[in-house]
Chain A
Amino acid sequence: GENVEQHPSTLSVQEGDSAVIKCTYSDSASNYFPWYKQELGKGPQLIIDIRSNVGEKKDQRIAVTLNKTAKHFSLHITETQPEDSAVYFCAASPMNTGFQKLVFGTGTRLLVSP
């Protein structure tokens, strides 16, 4: 089955710096890659997603890149702000499930210091 690895497990940056979180996946049939942000006491919230027919997607300060050949995808946050502090999860969805059965990475705790 699909396996998703996520690095780093913790990331500390200064406000205004960029942050990059990386994930690798094992199943070449995966075709959907969402990123979720989880704030303390809340459930995960989708912040951006990408499908395998696209190499990069951007939404304001957040971007995701996908390298299908290497089977890895990354989340880039520019001009970080204290409110970006949270746990971030990547996920991959194998194509043959039909019901968007997501396999999640283990999470990255991002701390943005003022």
Chain B
Amino acid sequence: DVKVTQSSRYLVKRTGEKVFLECVQDMDHENMFWYRQDPGLGLRLIYFSYDVKMKEKGDIPEGYSVSREKKERFSLILESASTNQTSMYLCASNLANQPQHFGDGTRLSIL
């Protein structure tokens, strides 16, 4: 079974802090994705990566950056956290033209 692991289930940070969310997959998938999920808005794509050190902006990249130094790990970075970034963050991965597999999410609160 595909395993996508997000390092934290819950995280509380303060405004202005630099925040790192980590995601690891164990199936040698080329593609990895970061989404945020908000009530009534569904899942929205923040960034994705199709190879090591390669990344592309999704639909809502403002205020975020990403890092993919190894194939199995994809990090989402909030450079200076703000309260409007309080949300559920979901990581996913897949092989080309195959379904995306999701982790269980990190619920991030910015105070």
**Within the complex, what minimum Cβ distance (angstroms) separates B27 from chain A?**
14
Is B76 interfacial (CB-CB < 8 Å)?
no
Binding site for A on B (CB under 8 A): 4, 31, 35, 40-45, 48, 50, 56, 58-59, 90, 92, 94, 96-105
Compute how far the CA of A1 lies from the CA of B57 in the bound complex, rounded to whole angstroms.
Answer: 14
Cβ proximity bits A70-106 to B, threshold 8 Å, 1 near / 0 not: 0000000000000000000101000000011111111
Q: List 25 A-B contacts (CB under 8 A).
A: A1-B59, A6-B42, A34-B99, A36-B102, A43-B90, A43-B92, A43-B102, A43-B104, A44-B90, A44-B102, A45-B102, A46-B99, A91-B43, A99-B31, A99-B56, A100-B31, A100-B100, A101-B58, A102-B43, A102-B45, A102-B100, A103-B45, A104-B35, A104-B44, A105-B42
**A46-B42 contact given A99-B50, A100-B94, A101-B58, CB 8 Å threshold:** no
Query: Is A43's CB under 8 angstroms from B4's CB?
Result: yes
Compute how far the CA of A100 lies from the CA of B103 in the bound complex, rounded to whole angstroms.
Answer: 17
Compute how far the CA of A91 lies from the CA of B43 in the bound complex, rounded to whole angstroms.
Answer: 9
4 smallest beta-carbon distances between A and B, as pairs? A43-B102, A104-B42, A104-B43, A106-B42
Contacts of A41 in B (CB 8 A): 104
Cβ proximity bits A15-59 to B, threshold 8 Å, 1 near / 0 not: 000000000000000000010100001111110010000000000
| Best-buried of B31, B48, B90, B100 by chain A (most CB within 10 Å) | B100
Binding site for B on A (CB under 8 A): 1, 4, 6, 9, 34, 36, 41-46, 49, 89, 91, 99-107
Compute how far the CA of A41 lies from the CA of B31 in the bound complex, rounded to whole angstroms.
Answer: 24
Q: What is the chain A residue whose CB lies nearest that of B48?
A: A99
Compute how far the CA of A44 lies from the CA of B100 in the bound complex, rounded to whole angstroms.
Answer: 10
**A43-B105 contact given A99-B96, A100-B94, CB 8 Å threshold:** yes
**A43-B100 contact given A89-B43, A100-B94, CB 8 Å threshold:** no
**A46-B50 contact given A102-B45, A106-B42, CB 8 Å threshold:** no
Known: A89-B43, A100-B98, A103-B45. 7 other contacts (CB 8 A): A34-B100, A43-B103, A46-B100, A100-B94, A100-B97, A101-B45, A101-B48
